[in-house]
A and B are shown apart, each in its own frame.
Chain A
């Protein structure tokens, strides 16, 4: 039996790793820099919860962003599509998301570990062009650091969100790969819908300094529907 992974042994930590420890989380190392929650002890229960109502902390997964003049051209020239409308997202080849926040800004999000390759690939292309002297290719925005990220999934997800967010996120109104930049629980939040198979799933992105604030609020709001925290294994 391998020794349990301790998030304290890694330099990069989720702001709420103590909460995960308190819930009995089993951690898994992504690399020598980060360890994420694999599960909280009962994989079967968590898998079932994903379809009902489940919350997972994806803060340590890769994210990026490009902002400024030349953003759309850069993205297209890098071989990825620039979403056709503001507040919509596209999936990249390995499942990474590219969300268009405005005419000149995108955020890239890895909803699972395999998708991280999309995020880093796009960033590497940018860096190579920058090193080569390209000026008009927008600027990097460190979204892996400015934002925390949760996955909220299940048939009750939209109803639960209605307790903290004024934007209608129900299935027939907010479609898969739609994006909403709005307020939730009195502070800013970006919501990207990115279903897991047939299960509705919302990615919630917010000021990383408010990660603990949001975790507490969502756990409280989930109670009505018997929602559960789940590890990253459950939301692949």
Chain B
């Protein structure tokens, strides 16, 4: 381990807190505040990864998390940005994407056959001979694909989300952002200021605007202080504003928390992304952005090289050179512009410092030794024309090349919001137009670069935000910034051996982009898809501009015509944990929920509800269900039906309303009676059913299916919003606990729970009757329906007392053999009785006619939902009909629901319900079959899962007690 002294004044590290970690099994020491990349750089380890395709050594490029050269693997977490992730004691870091070792990757040999792997080669390779792709190539490619490894057992941290509301959100805490935040807050706006770095300041923390380099730091400290003292500004550092959505809804991610922030006004001051120059070997460790070198020096106290070459096309490169020189490096400058253009403050500072400047020149190639672990020299010459260097080259040795050739705005959020990125080819200046109302730009993102101008631009953005908030102010609405040319229009240079990279993530070289165009992909979007340029982890941050320039040149157009790119959320990586947060999956429990668990119930999810399917130790589900079926038929059973939807329909027009919404007749329904409800939709398809209990002239208590009731309620409110009838609808589904007491002994049980005055005799409380009386001392609504085909009472009591009543019924019923029964049992009982279930025995096309329910349609009503369509469909009957069928109990292959009904080997229907009935000792079920076959006594062909064909006999669907004698006891 090499321990090197850090430069003084490093902003982010605390040298009093050393931290030890490992990389590739080797121990390193850094300091609190170091990232993995800076700690390794501080120890002289510059190789961090191997490139995607050619396995070339890669290292720090942007030092800002805006490239993927620095992706490393942590325990349980692949593809972590080493230049953003802090080291912690004991952290184990591994490199990715190599075979053998990072420094000696056996797969680097692939570079030698690069000419056989042209852009898009995989679209034409791996296909012959036939079958070879799946057998041979796919496993190889899968093993090679991707960078890091996912550990599927890894359990991350505690993730959650939180909403936030602010008048103004400022994304980017550099000079423009801080200035905007302060101005807005001073006028009373609530402000959220977000920055992805550990401290505010942005480029002010590492860049140089004056020769001595002090100005920015001082101003930055002052602004930070003002912000800290401002009560209206909430600061979130180490936080990314990762997406903009309509009406300024922002995904703001800090650690494991997703802040869902609603802003009234949004200011994007996210700065710029420095762009690379393209020359041979521009991707190797030791070649980095000028700003990367400045970050290393100022934030982490690391001198990136002793012998530096700065390639510059703007004034910022001179700031880099001065920084390097002050830190103790030898520096030479390769200036792409001629002397005349290069005049500016920092340039003069370099001249005064005696630094060697080569004007009008560019780098032809970076040099490195065989293993390419680090550059060791540079070859350069005079620029002879666009993209061409004159034949006479100079060579000097160096261990650092800094590129300072231009920037793109950090445009992503602006483009997510619908902004259009424009580019002027002559001036190489960007613009962003077409932003939505309330979305403001500030700073270098807005094309403003001079320091004072940037601060003023922040204030101007705040002024516009305050205007949007209708807060009065006296800030300047507009000003004219100084034009600063920061982009060199063509920093792209040919080399006979290529390896001049446009996209570092995807290992795409200049020739690859040109070849894609030659293949016919002559639009940027096509080049993108064919070559994958811009599709890597950094999503074109350092590739989009140069790719657009090359495509424009190859198609004889300007970049402004070709376009640069668009952007969609997210701006940067998001983990699934952050997306998931606390998983809110609403659950509804009946009042008897815990009793079911205590009684051995097997819980089933039915929509948002939990219901017991059946009770028992779980050894033989079918036997346990059948045992419950028998007990209901022979003694008495109790089932929790609380989930059944319940609506109160109240008002003078209540009966008329039901008449219009349902197919049956309700106007003359007597008080104290229950009546079946059938609902069809506008197309005449059956969509819900239930029971209507008439409690009073103007009061109905109706039930609906558990999964349909919320939709039915909403639909009824929608209908009445149009019909203006005198009714009210109250959803009381959860307000009442419901239980169905069913079986020949049901009356005996109920008798013990009601007072003597209550007449529950067969005459006093007949089938389909409805009564209100106390059960176990609790006021109850009780009605008799025949869903399971036995004497039964459906008892509805207030939810808070339902568990109590349930207990009383079970206690009192012991002597009559009572047992609880579950949903699956109920399904068997009702099937034996011939009752259909909406959604199981009906589908999106089922009419009442198909399922033998025309008795529930009162066609002579003037209007009901579905009437017209039913009439129409009655004139053109469908090809199918639902029938009951039977098979002998001894068959070895049991048919299942959804098994097909076949005729001449063509599908004519399917099974919707089926069971080997313990009551009838036969396989019974419902099926849809061809209408012409649907006669009792015919046979239909059923095909089981295993291919077995059965001939099932069509019988009456009223399998059990067809005279309904038992339920009318």
Contacts and interface: CB of A to CB of B under 8 A. Distances in A.
Is there direct touching of A and B in the complex, by C-beta distance under 8 Å? Answer: yes
Interface of A: 10-15, 18, 33-34, 59-60, 67-69, 135, 138-139, 141-142, 144-146, 162-166, 168, 170, 173, 185-187, 207-213, 217, 220-221
24 contacts: A11-B776, A13-B801, A14-B800, A15-B799, A68-B650, A69-B651, A139-B730, A142-B798, A146-B732, A162-B162, A162-B163, A162-B164, A163-B161, A163-B162, A173-B165, A186-B585, A209-B734, A210-B586, A210-B587, A210-B589, A213-B586, A213-B587, A213-B589, A221-B582
B586 A12 contact: no
Interface string B736-777: 100000000000000000000000000000000000000011
B804 A11 contact: yes
B92 interface: no
Contact of A210 (B588, B728, B735): B588
A208 B590 CA distance: 9
Contact of A11 (B585, B652, B730, B778): B778
B624 to A, nearest CB: 26
Contact of A217 (B582, B650, B726): B582
B584 A69 contact: no
Contact of B584 (A13, A142, A145, A217): A217
A15 B162 contact: no
B591 interface: yes
A174 to B, nearest CB: 11
B605 to A, nearest CB: 13
Given A12-B798, A163-B160, A209-B589, A139 B650 contact: yes
Contacts of A15: 589, 591, 799-800
A207 B585 CA distance: 14
Interface in B546-603: 582, 584-591, 594
A62 B141 CA distance: 67
Given A145-B798, A163-B160, A185-B584, 7 more contacts: A13-B803, A13-B804, A145-B800, A146-B732, A168-B163, A210-B589, A213-B587
A94 B146 CA distance: 68
Contacts of B262: 166
A207 B588 contact: yes
Contacts of B582: 163, 217, 220-221
Most buried by B among A33, A209, A210: A209
A139 B648 CA distance: 10
A47 B798 CA distance: 32
Contacts of A69: 651, 726, 728
Nearest to A66: B728
Closest 4 pairs (CB-CB, A-B) = A145-B735, A209-B588, A11-B804, A68-B728
B260 interface: yes
A165 B556 CA distance: 54
Interface in B911-955: none
Given A146-B734, A209-B588, A67 B728 contact: yes
Given A12-B804, A139-B650, A217-B582, A145 B736 contact: yes
B734 A207 contact: yes
A145 B781 CA distance: 15
Given A12-B798, A135-B652, A163-B160, A146 B731 contact: yes
Interface string B417-434: 000000000000000000
B278 to A, nearest CB: 47
Contact of B800 (A60, A170, A173): A60
B23 interface: no
A209 B441 CA distance: 48
A59 B728 contact: no
B745 to A, nearest CB: 24
Given A13-B800, A173-B165, A141 B730 contact: yes
A131 to B, nearest CB: 12
Contacts of A187: 584, 586
Contact of A145 (B260, B585, B777, B799): B799
A170 B730 CA distance: 31
Band of interface residues on B: 35 or more
A168 B165 contact: yes
Nearest to B652: A135
Interface string B256-272: 00001010000000000
A18 B726 contact: no
Nearest to A166: B163
Contacts of A173: 165
Nearest to B585: A186
A171 to B, nearest CB: 13
A68 B651 contact: yes
A31 B800 CA distance: 14
A162 B261 CA distance: 10
A165 B163 CA distance: 7
Given A11-B804, A220-B582, A209 B730 contact: no
Most buried by A among B260, B588, B651: B588
A221 B609 CA distance: 23
A12 B804 CA distance: 7
A161 B594 CA distance: 28
A165 B798 CA distance: 29
Contacts of A59: 800
B590 A12 contact: no
A139 B589 CA distance: 27
A142 B798 CA distance: 9
Nearest to B798: A145
Contacts of B588: 207, 209-210, 213
Contacts of A10: 804
Interface in B626-665: 648, 650-652
A204 to B, nearest CB: 14
A96 to B, nearest CB: 19
Interface string B707-743: 0000000000000000000101011111110000000
Contact of B735 (A33, A34, A142): A142
Contacts of A144: 800
A145 B801 CA distance: 10
A187 B609 CA distance: 13
Nearest to A69: B726
Interface in B658-710: none
A212 B593 CA distance: 11
Contacts of B728: 67-69, 138-139
Interface in B126-176: 160-165
B649 to A, nearest CB: 10
Interface string B171-197: 000000000000000000000000000
Most buried by A among B585, B591, B799, B805: B799
Interface string B383-395: 0000000000000
Contacts of A185: 584, 586
Given A11-B777, A15-B591, A166-B163, A209 B584 contact: no
